[in-house]
Structure 1
Amino acid sequence: MDPITISLILVVTLFILLSLGVWVAASLFIIGLLALVLNDQFAIGMVTATSTWGGSASWTLAALPLFIWMGEILFRTRLSEDLFNGLAPWLDKIPGGLLHVNVLGCSLFAAVSGSSAATTATVGKFSLKELKKRDYHESMAIGTLAGSGTLGFLIPPSIILIVYGVSAEVSVSRLFMAGALPGLMLAGLFIAYVVLWSLLNKTKAAPLGEPMSFVEKLKQSRRLLSIATLITFVIGSIYLGWATATEAATLGVLGSLILARLSGNLNWALFKESLIGATGMSCMILLILAGAHLLTVSMGFLRIPAMLAEFVASLDLSVALLLVALTILFVILGCFLDGISVVVLTTSVILPLVEAAGINLLWFGIYLVLVVEMSQITPPVGFNLFVIQSLTGKDIFTVARYALPFFMLLILAVVLITVFPQIALWLPTVLNN
């Protein structure tokens, strides 16, 4: 059977499996095995065993469960309350007021979580209630949370950057460095939009809070000191070359346990729940990675990535047109798959095209994360939309409508890093010299 026919069979089978609700990891294993069978590959057991081990036995991946565990521990503490109460006194008089708590709170938690859904849930479970109590406009309260929650994918330590780094064989530490400035840029775009919206919609603005003295503000903000220290310690140790990503993750877990103990939240139930939550998430991601690696090896036997790269090369597309096509592809895939699955499922096929086009793989990782962030607020399977739906009771399309301006800002961010690639590449270049 020729490779094109086999490719069509594999694509159709994959969509059928996913539409039936089969787990992504199981679907990838089934398609990989089917590809080996259709290719008349007799050593299926050996290929499956070696590829599965090769896709999951990586020292770099040791950072993954540790960063997830760190986020799980902090998710179960009073961090959301501390973030809101610590930031609120300084933001109350700025146009947009406490809406900025969603943006800055998500930025801070993203720096210790690495998960978009966890960031949205942690900040939202307290901020939405407080914003509603203060009569903030519902669309902006929900929209700022939906958009800002995506920062969990970009601001280091990002789980999805670890997954991409392993899949593309790019340094995770360098990816963390590359994600810092684009993450801050995106947070800045969100803040600018909130300020502009507030100035143009003064009748919808919430009343100002009670005035506080400078000393009172400092006293209220002491709650932020511990989390700021943890962020600085974990991320700074990577940037300064004191620790690898895995070593920094270990320090992060230790630091989060200390913070939970100091806040009075650490007990056996929290420890057990956080460990079980981290184990479940890590196993899911590792299974997806193993399945994707088997599929990659299977497609290698069929020469599918090479033929696809040759086909795209024959079209003689410019880099800009290639990126536009990839953006549309990733957003469509993101409507049906979670972000990590999109990255793992596509890298084996897409990376040969990207390399052939002369695109820097470090830069492409940041571009890819930004595009995947769009899918987090795109129905019907935008994970952030589901999280906010569970917090507010609103239907998913209403939440998506509120998040639409932030989707457009994500597109603007993609355009900016494409036109000015040094936004992503400058920091890794400087810190590695």
Structure 2
Amino acid sequence: MDTTLLSIILAVSMILMLAVGVWVSLTLVGIGVLGLLLAGNDQIGLLFATSSWGASTGWSLTALPMFIWMGEVLFRTRLSEDLFKGLSPWMSGLPGKLLHVNILSCGIFAAVSGSSAATAATIGRMTLPELKAQGYSDRMAVGTLAGSGTLGLLIPPSIILIVYGVAAEVSIGRLFIAGALPGLMLVAMFMGYTMIWAKLNKDEMPKHKKEQISFAAKIKALRMLLPIVGLIVFVLGSIYGGFTTPTEAAALGVFGALLLALATGSLNPSSFKESLLGAVKSSCMIGLILVGAHFLTLAMGFLGIPRELAEWIGGMSLSSFELLVCLTALFVLLGCFLDGISVVVLTVAVVMPMVQQAGIDMLWFGIFIVLVVEMAQITPPVGFNLFVIQALTGKDILYVARAALPFFLLIMAALFLIGWFPEIVTYLPQTMSQG
């Protein structure tokens, strides 16, 4: 059967299975089985067992459940409340005031949760009611939370960077280091836009007089940030300093998170059990998706689809820029219907040959793909962050999407920046490897 026809059959079958609500992981396995049957291969059970073992036994993957558990433990502590109280005095003098607390809180919490949805949900539960009570624009409060919540995908330790590192066989430690500067750049861009918006929309800001907060009070507030900042420095510093692998740092992070939960009085048998069950559920979901994607990749290899697709793209003589534009459109389109991890594991094996043929650095491409997936998180109809914030606010999904649109455009601008200046991504990994 012609490869093009096979590709169409598999693509249509996948869309139909997802449309009727079949789990992403089961859809991937089902399409893999269909592909092998069409290829005339009847060793489906043996191939599935072999691919599942290969997909689930990589040592790098052990960091995944650990970082997820660390985020689940911290999700159940008072750290988000302490973040707000610690940051608020320092933001009162900036245009936009407490809107910046949304952005910085998401940035800081992203560095310990590794999850976009957990970041948006945790920070949103605490900041949105406070911002509304003080008279801030609902649209801007929702927009800053939606945009900044995506930072959980990029600022290390990022779950999706671990998944990409395993799928593309790129060092997870180097990916974490590479994500640091782009993450800080996005925080700065979000805060810069918020300041400009606040200057241009003074009528949508609170009308109360500017509160004078003493420097001593600001220093005192910083003490509330010490536990979470200390944990971030401890976990990421051990990776960046070369003292631990990401897996070892993840285990130490869980230990530190449990100590923080114990110190804040949030750790009890019930919260410990909830955090453990939450981590197991999330890890199993991601694990099943990885297994399904690995099996589908194997089936597509038998059909020769990745090779022919790479040859077809190569025959079009696209420049690196044109290829990246096409891939951006593809990833955003897929992100409208799939979660970020599914997008990565489903596409990496197919696009890797094209990316390598174009001479694009796989480390840089990892940060690129995460930024594109961040855009997809706030793209209707099923951007995950949009659903999280809709559940928190009760607003219509299109209202949330419109509020997040400026931050979608800012992430797109960040894509162009790392394209024009790839050193934003590669500088730190190269510097540390030389050191």
For structure 1, the residue ranges without an aligned partner over 5 or more in a row are none
Q: How much has 1:208 moved relative to structure 2?
A: 4.7
**1:169/1:333 CA distance change after superposition, 3 Å:** same
Identity, % of aligned positions: 61
Which whole-Å CA distance do the structure 1 matches of 2:256 and 2:286 have between them? 24
RMSD: 0.9
Are 1:408 and 2:412 matched, yes or no?
no
Helix, strand or coil at the partner of 1:18? helix
Q: Which residue of 1 aligns with 2:170?
A: 170
Are 1:52 and 2:46 matched, yes or no?
no
Q: Which residue of 1 aligns with 2:140?
A: 140
Q: How much has 1:204 moved relative to structure 2?
A: 1.9
Q: Which residue of 2 aligns with 1:426?
A: 427
Amino acid at match of 1:35: G
Amino acid at match of 2:226: L
Q: How do 1:158-197 and structure 2 match up within 5 A?
A: 158-197=158-197
Helix, strand or coil at the partner of 2:406? helix
Amino acid at match of 2:212: P
Q: Which residue of 2 aligns with 1:341?
A: 342
Q: Which residue of 2 aligns with 1:8?
A: 8
Q: Which residue of 2 aligns with 1:154?
A: 154
Helix, strand or coil at the partner of 2:360? coil
Q: Which residue of 2 aligns with 1:286?
A: 287
User: 1:249-303: per-residue Cα shift (whole Å, max 9, x none)?
Assistant: 0000000000001101100011000000000000000100011001111111111
Q: Which residue of 2 aligns with 1:126?
A: 126
Q: Which residue of 2 aligns with 1:101?
A: 101
Please give the TM-score of this superposition, normalised by the length of structure 1. Answer: 0.99
User: 1:358-386: per-residue Cα shift (whole Å, max 9, x none)?
Assistant: 11110000000000000111111011011
1:93–1:208 CA contact under 8 A, matched in 2: no
Are 1:61 and 2:75 matched, yes or no?
no
Q: Which residue of 1 aligns with 2:259?
A: 258
Amino acid at match of 2:355: V
For structure 2, the residue ranges without an aligned partner over 5 or more in a row are none
Amino acid at match of 1:90: W
Which whole-Å CA distance do the structure 2 matches of 1:144 and 1:291 have between them? 35
**1:50/1:44 CA distance change after superposition, 3 Å:** same
Amino acid at match of 1:98: L
Which whole-Å CA distance do the structure 2 matches of 1:299 and 1:328 have between them? 22
1:79–1:122 CA contact under 8 A, matched in 2: no
Q: Which residue of 2 aligns with 1:214?
A: 215
1:335–1:379 CA contact under 8 A, matched in 2: yes
Which whole-Å CA distance do the structure 2 matches of 1:28 and 1:191 have between them? 39
Q: How much has 1:318 moved relative to structure 2?
A: 0.9
1:143–1:399 CA contact under 8 A, matched in 2: yes
Are 1:232 and 2:219 matched, yes or no?
no
User: 1:146-168: per-residue Cα shift (whole Å, max 9, x none)?
Assistant: 00000000000000000000110
Which whole-Å CA distance do the structure 2 matches of 1:43 and 1:377 have between them? 41
Amino acid at match of 2:204: K
Which whole-Å CA distance do the structure 2 matches of 1:417 and 1:16 have between them? 36
Amino acid at match of 1:328: A
Please give the TM-score of this superposition, normalised by the length of structure 2. Answer: 0.98
Helix, strand or coil at the partner of 2:213? coil
Are 1:370 and 2:359 matched, yes or no?
no
Q: How much has 1:203 moved relative to structure 2?
A: 2.2
Helix, strand or coil at the partner of 1:157? coil
Helix, strand or coil at the partner of 1:432? helix
Which whole-Å CA distance do the structure 2 matches of 1:228 and 1:432 have between them? 25
Which whole-Å CA distance do the structure 1 matches of 2:43 and 2:334 have between them? 32
User: 1:18-55: per-residue Cα shift (whole Å, max 9, x none)?
Assistant: 11110000000001111111111122221111011101
User: 1:100-151: per-residue Cα shift (whole Å, max 9, x none)?
Assistant: 0011000000000100000001111000011111101111111000000000
Q: Which residue of 2 aligns with 1:270?
A: 271
Which whole-Å CA distance do the structure 2 matches of 1:208 and 1:238 have between them? 45
Helix, strand or coil at the partner of 1:150? helix
Which whole-Å CA distance do the structure 2 matches of 1:247 and 1:89 have between them? 36
Amino acid at match of 2:3: P
Which whole-Å CA distance do the structure 2 matches of 1:380 and 1:8 have between them? 24
Q: Which residue of 2 aligns with 1:204?
A: 204
Q: Which residue of 2 aligns with 1:319?
A: 320
Q: How much has 1:392 moved relative to structure 2?
A: 0.5
Q: How many residues align?
A: 433
Q: How much has 1:201 moved relative to structure 2?
A: 1.5
Amino acid at match of 2:139: S
Which whole-Å CA distance do the structure 1 matches of 2:298 and 2:356 have between them? 18
1:92–1:208 CA contact under 8 A, matched in 2: no
Amino acid at match of 1:183: G
Helix, strand or coil at the partner of 2:248? helix
1:312–1:353 CA contact under 8 A, matched in 2: yes
Helix, strand or coil at the partner of 2:337? coil
